[in-house]
Structure 1
Amino acid sequence: MKSNGSVLYNEKMIGHLPGISVGDQFFSRAEMVVLGIHSHWLNGIDYMGEKYAKLPQYHSYTFPVATCIVLSGVYEDDLDNSEDVIYTGQGGNDLLGRRHQIQDQKMIRGNLALKNNMACGVPVRVIRGHGSANSYCGKIYTYDGLYKVIKYWAEKGVSGFTVFKYRLSRLEGQPTLTTNQVHYSRTQVPTSISELRGLVCDDISGGQEKFPIPATNIVDDPPLPPSGFLYSKSIQLGKNIKLPSVACGCKCKGECVDPRSCSCARLNGNDFPYVRRDGGRLVEAKAVVFECGPHCHCSTTCVNRTSQHGLRYRLEVYRTPKKGWAVRSWDTIPSGAPVCEYTGILTKTDDNGLDPENNYIFDIDCLQTIKGLDGRERRPGDISSLIDLDDKKSEAPEYCIDAGSIGSVARFINHSCAPNLFVQCILSQHQDIKVAKIMLFAADNIPPLQELSYDYGYVLDSVVGADGALKKLRCFCGSADCRKWLY
């Protein structure tokens, strides 16, 4: 088809190609060659050579110039943060073996072309390839729009050979990304913190958690660590705030196994909310989960204390181009597993000392969820014995958690309109739903290196600034069903 001149675009072009839209998918590289969006069967960088320098429209360019790159996990040094990419140049790769570098790269052909893109200010098309059983070649390729090359450098790669690295940033004003693969930042989980590029902090928890929580930043220049807060794995009480008295506990010996004789299980509808698999997993999201507490006679290994054992998965905080800091896991998190607790300073929502510009306020709105207010989906569970659900006073949260200056890793988890975590209210120390513990659980099986997210639960046009005017904030979650606005 190429030799017959029957491909869609026989000559290479810079920028978007008419008739091919952001989000269009291709079931093989052959399709991309036929369309002309990327004209190489194997190379990751497609570029225009010296022959194009003779055309008048390109007289100001230095050739070669790259037109398109494919990101598909071929290079072990690639990093992909959706809107911001660290792309490894071509050459020196053992394509027929384990796809590791086997020799140094050279500043020629596609590598030189990407360098010239930066110098000339020419954007490059980015296509991402990701595994798919629906494609006869095992992959689907998605066109994700135009990116600009903003920096390049040479460094020793993972395998010890020199590679060229290019940092690309997605141009503004394009359709929202839809490729699921862009939620992955690396192709491989690091074996140690020392391997992390852009490491700005070894452990933001300062040793408080079971595992160190590193922070990385390949977005800012210079790269700065998270700042302006103190890490705390537990709730701190605000001024004049007191927790209710400790609830009476169950009389079980050893571990709770019989829901008929366990008073905590009876509060959970005569059943245990967790199954023991993978260290304890929540069977379903509930109105509230009653866990065994300080006055219970059961052991600390009881399955009904699942949320009380701290972090179980290795987490990393990392910088994103548009959403600020974000969180990902190095481990697979199974559905229903507890991830982390949202901590900070427990205070009243009507506290005049709260900063209206503080974006780390978490209203303890368990009652609002239970009552199905503001479009929330009702959850199973009966707590009528603890609270009068007909009380109109309970329609607004009375308490909140302020994580602006003190908080855990949960303060860095972003909103998504299609989240992989959900919020679960838990009672163990006491039985006051208005000051319940806030835990984040996995809503689905979450693979390593996928960004963690939950729905912040804002209602549109519900946030008012200090001046009394409505505040608006765009959503950059990138999900296919994105509501476009966070509030």
Structure 2
Amino acid sequence: MLLDYKYNIMYFEWITVLGRWLIRQIGTEYYLVKWKGWPESSNTWEPQKNLKCPLLLQNFLSDKNEYLSRMREGKALKVRNHVKALKPAVADYIVKKAKQRIALQRWKEELNRKKNHKAMILVENTVDLEGPPLDFYYINEYKPAPGINVINGITTGCECTDCPAEKCCPKEAGFILAYNKRKKLKIQPGLPIYECNSFCRCGPDCPNRIVQKGTPYSLCIFRTNNGRGWGVKTLQKIKTNSFVMEYVGEVITSEEAERRGQLYDNQGNTYLFDLDYDSDEFTVDAARYGNVSHFVNHSCDPNLQVFNVFIDNLDLRLPRIALFSTRTIKAGEELTFDYQMKGSIDLTADSADGLSPSKKRIRTVCKCGAVCCRGYLN
């Protein structure tokens, strides 16, 4: 062994336990240890007395017991309480689970580095060995395709010192202020939200600056246990009519959305959101670029509602998409919205005729489990 033993003793708190085989040598249990910063070829067997890493040991025991429990439930394995060595399948699972845990931790750290709001993003998978998505990139705002301008060069804002006033942004646009004094939504679905912009005289505490501040709630991206992939749950109580998050992604033309939609249909994915407030020229594609909303699942009985928002871009073809709570949401509850939900004034009924061309080809079976489930996502 080329490692200096004393040197590595100093770094026991950073080791990763990849597997454990109980080897009865003079009554001592040995653990196979992967050293941080060293290849697996440098793994060593160590007695438990050398391991100063209670959390890693706890994770190891938890993973082992979880695997054995599943095997018992499936009647695929008869497990004795005392064994001299772990079966290869158990050891392999523990190794994969430990690597997954490291990958998810690094992904969580990456998400929290890239987000532009104060609330935390957690990641959790207690269901399977799925790790972070390989082809997903976190962004905080729209990523326009070449030739599309999501900032229309607005150079003026309200002169209010105490919004809302007679000349405030929503009233100038012909609508009422969207929020009440408690900063909760007070308008009906289908009406737009006009927030104060970067040229307005009002400061950051203006009651008409809500969506632009980002989500105020700590959220958790978690693995669902019923085949719906990843989902999102809130870690805090959310009151009715509260802003929760924006839906962001690549802004592409409807023609490009039609082309991509054919590919997504074959994969069983649904990430295209039509910006149809005033027209159907553009679509938001959150398949590769997006924020936490990328992982929010569909429900036919959702707890989030879509609203169109205008801040620094007043182009009616390119609203920002905000998700607000429709009711009180308890901490730990999954967040969902209706993939057929419209944010435009034209609140047509849910039907094939009301869907964009990119959503008409292949019907995806819905797994939301709601009493009022329509049976399909589109």
Q: TM-score range by the shorter chain?
A: 0.5 to 0.7
Q: Which of structure 1's runs of 4+ aligned residues deviate more than 6 A?
A: 112-115, 150-154, 462-466
What secondary structure does 1:435 align onto? coil
Q: Return the alpha-carbon distance in structure 2 between the equivalents of residues 326 and 153 of structure 1.
A: 36
Change (3 A) 1:198 1:418: farther
Query: Does structure 2 conserve the Cα–Cα contact (< 8 Å) formed by 1:417 and 1:455?
Result: yes
Residue 465 of structure 1: how far off its partner (Å):
10
Residue 276 of structure 1: how far off its partner (Å):
3.4
Matched residue, 2:194: 290
The alignment status of 1:245 with 2:153, answered yes or no, reads yes
The alignment status of 1:484 with 2:349, answered yes or no, reads no
Change (3 A) 1:411 1:116: closer
TM-score calculated relative to the size of structure 2: 0.64
Report the AA paired with residue 246 of structure 2.
Answer: E
Change (3 A) 1:355 1:246: same
Matched residue, 2:247: 342
Query: Does structure 2 conserve the Cα–Cα contact (< 8 Å) formed by 1:215 and 1:226?
Result: no
Pairing of 1:333-412 with structure 2 (within 5 A): 333-351=238-256, 354=260, 356-358=262-264, 359-367=270-278, 394=279, 397-412=280-295
TM-score calculated relative to the size of structure 1: 0.50
Unaligned runs of 5+ in 2: 1-67, 82-100, 265-269, 342-349
Query: Does structure 2 conserve the Cα–Cα contact (< 8 Å) formed by 1:362 and 1:400?
Result: yes
Matched residue, 1:256: 163
- Post-superposition Cα deviations, 1:451-480, rounded to whole Å, max 9, x if no partner, equal 1001111755578999x9931211111111
Which of the pair is proportionally richer in helix?
A: 2
What secondary structure does 1:304 align onto? coil
Structural RMSD (CA) = 3.3
Residue 226 of structure 1: how far off its partner (Å):
2.9
* Structure with more contact order per residue of length (Cα contacts < 8 Å, sep ≥ 6): 2
Report the AA paired with residue 255 of structure 2.
Answer: D
What secondary structure does 1:456 align onto? coil
Change (3 A) 1:268 1:282: farther
The alignment status of 1:302 with 2:206, answered yes or no, reads yes
Report the AA paired with residue 275 of structure 2.
Answer: I
Matched residue, 1:163: none
Query: Does structure 2 conserve the Cα–Cα contact (< 8 Å) formed by 1:349 and 1:398?
Result: yes
Matched residue, 1:474: 365
Q: Return the alpha-carbon distance in structure 2 between the equivalents of residues 276 and 153 of structure 1.
A: 63
- Correspondence for 2:75 among 116, 119, 122: 119
The alignment status of 1:432 with 2:335, answered yes or no, reads no
Residue 257 of structure 1: how far off its partner (Å):
3.7
Q: Return the alpha-carbon distance in structure 1 between the equivalents of residues 139 and 157 of structure 2.
A: 27
Report the AA paired with residue 339 of structure 1.
Answer: V
Q: Return the alpha-carbon distance in structure 2 between the equivalents of residues 418 and 465 of structure 1.
A: 24
- Correspondence for 2:340 among 450, 457, 464: 457
Report the AA paired with residue 288 of structure 2.
Answer: S
Change (3 A) 1:439 1:114: closer
Q: Return the alpha-carbon distance in structure 1 between the equivalents of residues 238 and 80 of structure 2.
A: 35
Unaligned runs of 5+ in 1: 1-111, 121-149, 155-195, 368-393
Residue 442 of structure 1: how far off its partner (Å):
0.8
What secondary structure does 2:74 align onto? helix
What secondary structure does 1:281 align onto? coil
- Post-superposition Cα deviations, 1:159-202, rounded to whole Å, max 9, x if no partner, equal xxxxxxxxxxxxxxxxxxxxxxxxxxxxxxxxxxxxx9995542
What secondary structure does 2:210 align onto? helix
Pairing of 1:314-325 with structure 2 (within 5 A): 314-320=218-224, 321-325=226-230
Q: Return the alpha-carbon distance in structure 2 between the equivalents of residues 465 and 263 of structure 1.
A: 34
Q: Return the alpha-carbon distance in structure 2 between the equivalents of residues 363 and 219 of structure 1.
A: 32
Change (3 A) 1:256 1:447: same
